[in-house]
Amino acid sequence: MGVVVSLDKARDSGPGLKPLFDLVESDMGRLNDLILSKAHSHVEMIPKLARHLINSGGKRLRPILTIASAQMCGYDTGDDHIPLAAAVEFMHTATLLHDDVVDESDMRRGRTTARILWGNEASVLVGDYLLGQAFKMQVDVGIMDALSILANAAAIIAEGEVMQLAAAKNMETTEDEYLTIIQSKTAALFAAACELGAVVADKSERERAALRSYGNNLGLAFQLVDDALDYSGSSELLGKNVGDDFHEGKITLPIVLSYRRGSADEQKFWKRTLAKGNVRDGDLEHAAELMKKHNALEYTIKRAKHYGNIAKDAMAIFPDSKHKSALLETIDFCVSRKH
């Protein structure tokens, strides 16, 4: 299915992630090598399944944020930022593996999901293995503050996933509840990834808090745009089907807004399709029409911009640098991205 709601006019993509990628380029080889070597195991199924997802063309945005944050903070006394970044990516990969099982997803990043190829069981267990490896890499680095940040993130992410599961198909979910969910399931790891850069560079709580706030708000913006793209992107660019959230009955902000702003008849439609999962031909198109009518996607993107602005302001304490500019460009990319 192609574009359901067009949002292109409202958003300009700018230079994208290129400035960020250029800055971390010299570290990326080592990061990728470490990620591949730690996804290894003598148990054949583990590297096969792990690498399917690890090599599937993800942007590695979270570990890159750790590396760029460390560089911006002037870290040059060692290589600890690399294993910490790899640990962040493994925690993310483990979450994706478990997510796909929970959501019964068939596609991820344009490829058949691991659970379809190797089964739900293997996806659960290899996710556990990657969590274990992430934990080991952090212990090897041995910075207690970094361990504490990532341990907290691990518990919060799982809490957010359970909240999302409990909210699934619940039309009475409020915008606040939705924000609490994405704060936990997405923003917490972005916040941790960025704060680690300040921690590894031994910066004070002031810089740590600034990078934590940057990452947190960037993560909120990222997830809001993700939720809008599920109704407005192109399947080809997204690497998954447009409307997946709709078919899974996932309550995201575009839905929360359309439902609350809708007439009694419209609310009946949302209850039938999302709460009861009774979806017929043409329902996704009708959902898109209702979102258009209530400006639900524009409002979702507007919200994303709001959090993007908070992320920008959080960075104000840092002196100007190529790294700071690249991190600011990253906010614009996350808000304006089309995939």
Positions touching its own copies (CB under 8 A) are: 41, 43-46, 98, 101-102, 120-122, 124-126, 128-129, 131-133, 135-136, 138-139, 142, 144, 147-148, 150-152, 154-159, 161-163, 165-166
Closest CB to its own copies among 223 and 336?
Answer: 223
Encoded tokens for 196? 């680690």
Residue 90 contacts by C-beta under 8 Å, 6 or more apart in sequence? 35, 38, 39, 130, 131, 133, 134, 137
**In the bound complex, what is the minimum distance in angstroms from residue 94's beta carbon to its own copies?**
8
Distance, CA of 59 to CA of 17 (rounded, Å):
9
Least separation in angstroms between CB 56 and its own copies: 20
* C-alpha–C-alpha distance, residues 157 and 182, integer Å: 9
Cβ neighbours around 41 below 10 Å, total: 14
Identity of the residue, 28 or 116, whose beta carbon is nearer to its own copies in the bound complex:
116
Backbone angles phi, psi at 300, to 5 degrees: -65, -45
Secondary structure letter of residue 5 according to DSSP: S
Residue 90 CB, nearest approach to its own copies (Å)? 11
Which whole-number Å values give the CA distances from 117 to 53, 98, 112, 215, in the listed order?
11, 14, 7, 33
Nearest to its own copies of 49, 284 (CB atom): 49
Which residue lies nearer to its own copies by CB, 186 or 330?
186
Let me know: does 39 contact 126? Beta carbons within 8 Å. no
Q: Which is nearer to its own copies, 119 or 262 (CB)?
A: 119
Q: Which is nearer to its own copies, 66 or 138 (CB)?
A: 138
Closest separation in Å from C-beta 212 to its own copies: 17
Work out the angle at residue 246's Cα, subtended by the Cα atoms of residues 242 and 252, and round it to the nearest 5 degrees: 100
Q: Is 108 helix (H, G, I), strand (E, B) or coil?
A: strand
Q: How far is the CB of 165 from its own copies (least distance, A)?
A: 6
**Least distance from C-beta 142 to its own copies, angstroms?**
6
Q: Which is nearer to its own copies, 3 or 124 (CB)?
A: 124
Name the one residue in this structure whose structure tokens are 């500019």: 325
| Nearest Cα residue to 141 out of 199, 92, 189 | 199
Q: Classify burial at 269, counting beta carbons within 10 Å of its beta carbon; exposed 0-12, middle 13-18, buried 19 or more.
A: middle
Contact 314, 327 (CB under 8 A): no
Q: Which is nearer to its own copies, 140 or 175 (CB)?
A: 140
Please report how close the Cβ of residue 86 comes to its own copies at its closest, in angstroms.
14
Name the minimum Å distance from CB 169 to its own copies. Answer: 12
